């Protein structure tokens, strides 16, 4: 029984060390002061326009209407294409 416990502890330690020796992924995007700009789109074309999708449950309440307008305005400021989808509580 003691031998089994020793093996279990050893196995746990080995697994811990193996999983902790993984390199963290490095960020490859070049960000400007606004947070958007020369970001990599994955295909190597830095001039390709960034597209952001935003899914909303509803816009019946005033709060969500303000949020939608603010999101669209900020995307326009940053020259980012935004796609907003509203489910109208039909999840």
Domain boundaries, the chain: 2-86
Angstrom distance (rounded) from CA 51 to CA 29: 15
Helix (H) or strand (E) holding 26: none
Indicate the average pLDDT of the chain: 80
Minimal CA–CA distance to 68: which of 51, 81, 79, 55?
A: 55
The mean pLDDT of 21-25, rounded to a whole number, is 69
Q: Output the pTM of the full model.
A: 0.47
Tell whether the model's pLDDT for residue 83 goes beyond 90.
yes
pLDDT of residue 11: 87
């Amino acid at each position: 029984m003691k031998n089994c416990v020793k093996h279990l502890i050893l196995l746990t330690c080995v697994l811990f060390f193996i999983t902790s020796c993984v390199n963290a992924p490095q960020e490859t995007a070049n960000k400007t002061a606004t947070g958007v700009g020369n970001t990599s789109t994955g295909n190597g074309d830095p001039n390709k326009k960034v597209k952001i999708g935003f899914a909303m449950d509803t816009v019946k309440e005033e709060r969500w209407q303000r949020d939608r307008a603010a999101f669209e305005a900020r995307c326009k400021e940053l020259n980012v294409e935004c796609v907003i989808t509203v489910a109208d509580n039909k999840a």
